[in-house]
Amino acid sequence: MSDKNKKLSLTTRIVIGMFAGIVVGALLQILFKDSTIVENYLTNGLFFVIGQIFIASLQMLVVPLVFVSLVLGTCALSDPAKLGRLGGKAVGLYLVTTAIAISLAIAAAVIVQPGSGLELETEAVFEAKEAPSLAQVIIDLFPTNPFDAFANGNMLQIIVFALLFGIATALVGGKPGERVKALFEDFNEVIMKLVIILMNLAPYGVFALMAKLFSETEFSAITSLGTYFVLVIAVLLTHALITYPIILKALSRMNPIMFLRKMREVQIFGFSTASSNATMPVTLETVTKRLGVHNSVGSFTVPLGATINMDGTAIMQGVATVFIAQVYLVDLSIADYLMVVLTATLASIGTAGVPGVGMIMLAMVLGQVGLPVEGIGLIIGVDRLLDMTRTAVNVTGDAMVSVIVAKSEGALDEDVFNDADADVKERDVADQI
């Protein structure tokens, strides 16, 4: 790697890759919109292949990283009752932030009225899938075949099996327990090194993802839904840059500016991949190595958050519900708005791990207040770009909750959190690989 590249931090290189991809994609959209050569060899060729390999590489690490980290974290818990406290605090905080997010979104949408006076038509058809009941979700937490859960990437089942395996390892104790723990520690070192290597390839993957997306994006859809689009983005940024820092400062007394500074890479990864699960290796590496959260906490709160924390999705649902109601000229009462808040908050757990969870949750919310589910078709055109921003917000929430829970449990290294250069030396070594 050249001396010039070494002078640029990883965050800077990723940002350059992201904006370069956006510019290249937009130029291709404007200049070569109908070119089959550009579409076949660049958009669906080079950019598609590089982007998919990058996402696949990240996803490749998710299951082993979560399992190994969570087993190690559980082994490190000297008090088994601590696990229950961790779970209670984490789930409680995730639910509270989701309720705040959707309340903020509804309030903003009621004030701005993004759908007022619009007469939109859409040919898009949305078929709402039925969400599983909360009882079924609880039953499905326990895998009948752990290897099947690994193969299918069922995160909730993997989390439960890892917790049970870690507890059993701790209870066995003696030489067997120590040997198993040592083996998992070695595995963890190797996996984290893989994460760092992949992070240094991120600028190229992010460039390809952005270039493909913006070469295919129909900007006319954004124009017709301009107020809705801008409002969702504004509420998402408000939640990430104001709500989260206030909660972090109030509950942990940690510096929110330092927190946001260290979260930039994770947010860019989340924005580029539009997947909390794909971003999880980077989130966990940042939470434990840069924010100082002990692995015993971070290995539990981060995978759990990637599965059930849906603040960004809740914001979209709040604005979308009011928007669709205004387009269809339906007046919602205070009771309806409270029902939206309650339904979306509880559904964030009830639909955890279900593919297309955002739209399933929105269909549930619309059904609860008597709005036509077909209204989802109005916003599908811009949902991909909004989904990317939602993911960046979600991963920020995962890290914030991890810091708060760790601080409350005495499992936060404040020196690491306050060190602006924490983990930089290890990355510099990886740059030379």
Phi/psi of residue 397, nearest 5 degrees: -65, -40
DSSP structure class, residue 374: G
Q: In this predicted structure, what is the pLDDT of residue 37?
A: 82
The secondary element (H helix, E strand) that includes residue 341 is helix 334-350
The secondary element (H helix, E strand) that includes residue 223 is helix 219-224
274/387 Cα distance (integer angstroms)? 6
189/200 Cα distance (integer angstroms)? 17
109/232 Cα distance (integer angstroms)? 9
Low-confidence ranges of the chain (pLDDT < 70): 1-7, 77-80, 117-134, 218-222, 224, 350-357, 423-433
> Residues 383, 312: contact at Cβ < 8 Å?
no
- Residue 268 tokens read as 């860019």
Q: In this predicted structure, what is the pLDDT of residue 134?
A: 65
396/264 Cα distance (integer angstroms)? 9
- Which position has the token pair 């790697």? 1
Residue type for position 145: N
**264-273 helix and 10-31 helix, angle to the nearest 10 degrees:** 30
Q: In this predicted structure, what is the pLDDT of residue 204?
A: 92
Q: CB 134: neighbour CB atoms within 10 A?
A: 13
Q: In this predicted structure, what is the pLDDT of residue 118?
A: 66
Q: In this predicted structure, what is the pLDDT of residue 430?
A: 45
Query: Residue 395, Cα to own-chain centre: how many angstroms?
Result: 4
361/317 Cα distance (integer angstroms)? 8
Distance between start and end Cα atoms, the chain: 8
Q: In this predicted structure, what is the pLDDT of residue 78?
A: 60
Please, which residues have CB within 8 angstroms of residue 421's CB and are 6 or more apart in sequence? none
Q: In this predicted structure, what is the pLDDT of residue 378?
A: 78
Q: In this predicted structure, what is the pLDDT of residue 220?
A: 65
